Every structure is written in C-alpha cells, then in structure tokens.
Amino acid sequence: QRLPELLKTMPKAELHIHIEGSLEPELIFALAKRNGVALAYADVEALRRAYAFTDLQSFLDIYYAGASVLLKEEDFYDMASAYFVKAAEDNVVHAELFFDPQTHTARGVAMQTVIDGLHRACVDAQKIHGISASLILCFLRHLSEEDALVCLEQALPFRDKLVGIGLDSGELGNPPEKFERVFARCAQLGLRLVAHAGEEGPPAYIWAALDVLKVERIDHGVQAIKDPALMQRLAEQRTALTVCPLSNLKLCVFPDLASHNLRELLDTGLMATINSDDPAYFGGYMNDNFVQTFAATGMHAGHAYSLARNSFEASFIDDAAKLKFV
C-alpha cells in the first residue's frame, strides 16, 4: 500500500483540536449574517488574506475575532458538525474537542448555550459518522486564575458533559503555576487534565505542567527537545505529546516542515501524536497534517502505526473501549 493511502485510511484519534479553530471563513461569514454581527473584513477572501501569522499571538487575535460570530446553541452545533464531516473524511474515529468558553461568556453567551450546542453535535457525530467524541474545557491562560475559577463554577452544572480540562491561549508570560489552584480543584472533580506547554514556551513550562498542574498529556511540547532530562522523563512515563505540525509551521515555531522534530521525538521513544490544532486557520485537517509531515520528514509506515496507536492509547476513551483500537 502506498504510504499516503495508509495515512489517509488508517483509523485515528484526534486529541488536539480547538473547535473554534475549525470555523472556516465561509461559515464565519454565514454566521455573521445569520446573527447580524459586523466583521472587520469585507469578504471571505479578505479574511483569508489576513491568515499570515508570525507567532502564536498574531494568530490568537484573529481567532478570537472569528469566534465573535458564535452566539446561539445552533451556531456551536453547526460549527462542531462541520468539523465532524471533515474528521469522518479523514478516518478520525474518536475526537476530543477543546473549547474556550471564556471567549464566549465574555460576550454574554451563556455557558449552557456553548456546552449544549457542542454536546449535541458530539452525540450526533456518533449517530451520523460513528465517531465517538468528548469535550475538554480550556481555561484562557492570558486571563487570571480567578476568572478560570468563575468559569469552572459556571461549568459545574454540566460536569457530566466534560471529559477534561485544558489550558490554552498566549503561553509566554503565563506559566502553568498561575493555575495551580484551579487545576487542583478540577482534579478533585475527577476531570482529566491536559495543558498547552512548550509550544513557544520553554521546557520549564512543561515541567510545571507535569509537576504543578499534574496533567496527563502535554499539548504541543515540541520545545522539550531542548532539555535531555525532560525528554527522558517524558519517554519513561510515556507522557503523550499532542503535536500539531501544520500549526507549528504556520506560527513559525519551525521554519519549514522538514525541520519539524516530530520524527526525532518518536525515534527517541516519546509518545507523540499528530493533530490539527486549528485546521481552518493552518491550512489542513488531520490527513493534511499526516501526509505533508511524512513527505517532509521521510517518516515511514512504522511511524504511521506508532502515531495511530499512540492516539488511541493517549485518549480518554475508557480502557475497555480502548481495546477495540490498540
């Protein structure tokens, strides 16, 4: 079998997808019209032209502006449903969706509106596509821990619709230590814990995510390569890294895909996975990430099997159901 065919057809899990980052420009304009929201861009082409990022923050500014069209339960449902169509095409059979409620509640949208719409799309994804899906609520790290605690309070009535908690947004200057108390609270509630660390930030942020926040998975984590002791720890504990190659390329974390360190992470024995992060903004969904990264780095079928197996092993599917995949 040709390698691109294997990459496209093999069943896989996606563990790092910000659902607001799956909003395509066409849907942004359709929702803006439906909701009477004014946009700072004349049309789809003008918006797409603005997708020329230099770093994480330059992307986040446009990403939060795009999310401003989401107001109603149906908007969140339609957004996630569009993602599941793409995921099904790419043979994603399990997905854990990040969402950023604070960017919505700050605009007056109720937590229930956000979670109801996303959850309904997850339930339908199983019925329509056979995709199992769950939700991970992310705190915005550029905001305060007090804000995160308020957000958690608002989400408590919907605890049963969440599998876990994450931490995203601008990393530099917002170390994991800032969220120690709220993550401890989430652990007590039995929520699974993940955090973005080592995307742009130093290895120290990955150590802190592990030791202070006590997360099970590191989102991105590519900067771990700078710290041999950290690499050894991640390998020994089989801590999963949810790596997002096209995201790293578009946000200038690596100058080109051939320079990406995913292959080195895998060959060093780390439990890395491939994910799309914000596919509508970074030029590709799961299979684009797989095909382009393999072409650029010369990885082979053995790497493909490892990545697929890792994606299920690192998922929050319950252990009995996991046996189906690994």
Binding site for ligand ADE (CB under 6 A): 18, 21, 56, 63, 168-169, 196, 199, 247, 277-278
The entry of Zn ion, ligand ADE, none near residue 56 (CB within 5 to 8 angstroms by kind) is ligand ADE
Q: Please check if 277 is assigned to a binding site.
A: yes
CB of 281 to ligand ADE, least distance (A): 8
Measured from each CB, the residue nearest to Zn ion is 277
Q: Output 24 or 199, the one with its CB closest to ligand ADE.
A: 199
Contact indicator for 167, 130 with CB cutoff of 8 Å: no
Question: Going by DSSP bridges, is the β-strand pair 164-168/132-140 parallel, antiparallel, or unpaired?
Answer: parallel
The entry of Zn ion, ligand ADE, none near residue 68 (CB within 5 to 8 angstroms by kind) is none
CB of 220 to ligand ADE, least distance (A): 7
Burial class (CB in 10 A: 0-12, 13-18, 19+), 255: exposed
Q: Output 56 or 121, the one with its CB closest to ligand ADE.
A: 56
Taking CB under 5 A as the binding criterion, the range among 200-208, 257-265, 275-283, 294-302 that sits at the site for Zn ion is 275-283
The entry of ligand ADE, Zn ion, none near residue 288 (CB within 5 to 8 angstroms by kind) is none
CB of 21 to ligand ADE, least distance (A): 5
Q: Output 41 or 205, the one with its CB closest to Zn ion.
A: 205
What is d(CA 131, CA 128) in angstroms, rounded to the nearest whole number? 8
Q: Assess whether 177 carries a catalytic annotation.
A: no
Give me the sheet containing 92-99, strands edge to edge.
12-18, 92-99, 132-140, 164-168, 192-197, 217-220, 240-243, 271-274
Contact indicator for 272, 262 with CB cutoff of 8 Å: yes
Q: Please check if 142 is assigned to a binding site.
A: no
If DSSP codes are grouped into helix, strand and coil, which group holds residue 263? helix
Q: How many CA atoms lie within 13 A of 51 on its CB side?
A: 19
Number of H helices, E strands in the chain: 17, 8
Q: Please check if 16 is assigned to a binding site.
A: yes
Q: Output 210 or 243, the one with its CB closest to Zn ion.
A: 243
The entry of ligand ADE, Zn ion, none near residue 263 (CB within 5 to 8 angstroms by kind) is none
Measured from each CB, the residue nearest to ligand ADE is 168
The residue length of the chain stands at 326
Q: Check 199, 200, 216, 264 and give the catalytic one.
A: 199
Q: Please check if 129 is assigned to a binding site.
A: no
Taking CB under 5 A as the binding criterion, the range among 86-94, 203-211, 277-285, 292-300 that sits at the site for Zn ion is 277-285
**With binding defined as CB under 5 A, does residue 200 bind Zn ion?**
no
Q: Please check if 303 is assigned to a binding site.
A: no
**With binding defined as CB under 5 A, does residue 277 bind Zn ion?**
yes
Q: DSSP states of 270-322 as a string?
A: -EEEE--BSHHHHT--HHHHHHHHHHHHT--HHHHHHHHHHHHHTS-S-HHHH
What is d(CA 251, CA 76) in angstroms, rounded to the nearest whole number? 26
Q: Output 10 or 197, the one with its CB closest to ligand ADE.
A: 197
What is d(CA 222, CA 230) in angstroms, rounded to the nearest whole number? 11
Contact indicator for 44, 25 with CB cutoff of 8 Å: yes
Q: Which of 248, 141, 249, 261 is nearest to 196 (CA)?
A: 141
- Active site positions, annotated: 199
Binding-site entries for Zn(2+): 16, 18, 196, 277
Binding-site entries: 16, 18, 196, 277-278
